[in-house]
Amino acid sequence: MSNRGGKTYRSWEPQRYRQEAHSPAAKLPEGDVVFFLIDTVSRLDLRRFYAPYEDETRGAPPFDPAMMVCLLLYAYCVGVFSSRKIALACERNLAFMAIVGQDRPDFRTISDFRKLHLEAFIDVFVAVVRLAGEAGLVKLGNVSTDGTKIQGNASRHKAMSYRYMKQEVERLREDIEVLVTQAYQQDEAEEAALGSRRGDELPAELARREDRLATIEAAMRRLEARAKAEADTERQRRAEAEAERQRTGQKRRGKVPKPVEDAPADNAQSNFTDPELHIMQTNNKGWEYCGNAQVSVDATCQIILACDVTDASNDKQQGEPVAQATLATLAQAGIALPKDESGAAQAIPATLDNGYYSETAVQALEDLGFDPYIATGRQRHHGSEAAASAPPTTAKERMTAKVRTAEGKGLYARRKVIVEPVFGQIKEARGFRRFLLRGLEKIRGEWRLVCLGHNLLKLWRYGGAQSAA
C-alpha cells in the first residue's frame, strides 16, 4: 500500500515491474510508448484526480489514480476505448501489464474512474500541450481548424418525428383519461366488495402511460427550442445579407424566400437514447445521430491545441469558440503568442474551410488576434482570370482575394496536410468512430481523451527529435 495526503492507495510501482524476471519490460522494446507514458505521468500534477478520495474512509483502498490515468491514456493512444476491452488487455497484453502489474482493475472500476474524472483530464490536456511547446512542437505558424461527424451512442430506431409526437401525445392523453375513469370505477367496485381484489393493474398501466407522455412532451419542447434558435439564426443571416445588398446596391437573385418558421418541421426528429444529439448527414451520405467534433491543430507536428464537440450539424458558428478555446489553452500552457521584430503582437495565421465562413466569423477571429484565411466556396482549379482580377467590393470578395494571393494559397494549401490527417489518424489508425458515452458533456470529455492520446503520440514520436534540433 502507498500513502498520499493521509489517504491509503493500492501500491503502484511500475519501476519494480520492469525489474522482475519475467517483466513486460524484458520483452517490449526499450523505447515503447508505454514506458514514455509511465515517465510522463510521473511529471504531471494529478492532485485533481486524488482529491475525491482524500476524505473517503469507507471500503478497500482504491487503485492509485496515477496508475488509472496512465492506463486510460495508454489505452486511448493504442485505440482501446471500451472499459471491458481495457480490463481484458490488462490480463493479456504485455504493455498494459507493464502499467498495472499483478493488481488489475476490472472493467467497472475503469468505467467509473473515467466518468468521474472526465473534467480533470482538462488539466492533463493543457499539461501535454505545455510539454509539446517546451519540446518545440508548437510554432503557431499556421493553426488549422476543422470538424468531423462522429456517431453517438444512440439508435435511429429510438427516435420519433415531431408530427408523430403530436399524434402520440393526443392518443396517450385519451388513454390516460380512460384509465383514470376506469380506476375510479374499479375503486368503487372494490370498496363495495370489501377490498377482495388488489386492483393494481390499472394504476401501473396508468403510470407507464404518464411516464411516456412526459418523455414525449420533453422531446417536443427540445425540438421547439431548437427550431426557435435556428429560426433566430436564419433571421440574423437574412438581415446581414439584406444589409450587404443595401450597401452594395445589388439586387436579390431568385425568388423571395419563405417566412422563417419558429415551429419545428413535421419531420424534425428527437432521439430518446441520447436526446442531446441531432441527426446529421455523414460522409457516406447516410444519416446518423452524431456529435460534430472540432479541433484546432498547429502545423508543426499536428499538435491539437483545442477540441470540442457541438450538436450543430454545420461549422458556421464554430470558428469563434474554437479560436477562444485555442487561446485559452495556449495561455494556460504558458506558450507565448508570436511577435514581430519590434516586439509587437503578431496575428496567428488561421486556415479554415468554407464551412466556417461568415463575415461575423472573420471579424471575430481578427478581433481575437488571428489572421484568418477562409475559403468562401469550393476551390476551383481553373477560375476566371477576369473574375480574379476584379477589385473586391464586399467582405466575401475581399476574403476570396486574400486566399488567392501567393501567401494565401501557400497557407491554405497546407490545411489539408495539417488538420485533415488528424481525423484520419484518429478514425483509421486508432479506430475511434463512435462515442461510447451519452450526453454532450460526457461526449466532450471522451473526445478530449481521444485528442489527448493523439498529442501524447506526437510528443513521443517527435519530442526528442525537435528538442535535439
Give the best-scoring range by mean pLDDT among 31-40, 158-167, 257-266: 31-40
Model confidence at 20, pLDDT cuts 50, 70, 90, reads low
Q: Is the pTM of this model over 0.75?
A: yes
Contacts of 101 (CB under 8 A, 6+ apart): 12, 13, 14, 16, 17
Cell of 154: 444512440
Please report which residue ranges of 93-161 form alpha helices under DSSP H. 94-100, 107-116, 121-134
Can you give the pLDDT at residue 211?
Answer: 80
379: left (phi over 0), alpha (psi -120 to 50) or beta: beta
Distance, in Å, from the CA atom of 110 to the CA atom of 380, rounded to the nearest integer, reads 50
396 CB-side CA count, 13 A: 11
Model confidence at 385, pLDDT cuts 50, 70, 90, reads very low
Which of 19-28, 52-61, 242-251, 364-373 has the weakest average pLDDT? Answer: 19-28
Hey, which residues does 464 pair with through a beta bridge? Answer: none
Please give the residue that has the higher pLDDT: either 204 or 50: 50
Model confidence at 87, pLDDT cuts 50, 70, 90, reads very high
For 299-360, where are the E strands, in sequence order? 304-310, 348-352
8 Å CB contact between 54 and 7 = yes
Distance, in Å, from the CA atom of 146 to the CA atom of 422, rounded to the nearest integer, reads 10
Distance, in Å, from the CA atom of 117 to the CA atom of 300, rounded to the nearest integer, reads 30
Q: What is the DSSP-derived secondary structure letter of residue 428?
A: I
Residue-wise pLDDT for 255-302, tens only, equals 888 888 888 887 777 777 777 787 888 876 678 889 999 999 999 999
Distance, in Å, from the CA atom of 170 to the CA atom of 167, rounded to the nearest integer, reads 5
Which of 46-60, 311-325, 337-351 has the weakest average pLDDT? Answer: 46-60
8 Å CB contact between 370 and 337 = no
Residue-wise pLDDT for 100-147, tens only, equals 988 899 999 999 999 999 999 999 999 999 999 999 999 999 999 999
Range 44-58 average pLDDT: 87
CA torsion sign for 128, 130, 134, 139 is positive
8 Å CB contact between 270 and 222 = yes
8 Å CB contact between 74 and 33 = yes
3-state helix, strand, coil in the chain (%, to 5): 55, 10, 35
Range 190-215 average pLDDT: 65
Name the average pLDDT for the chain. 85
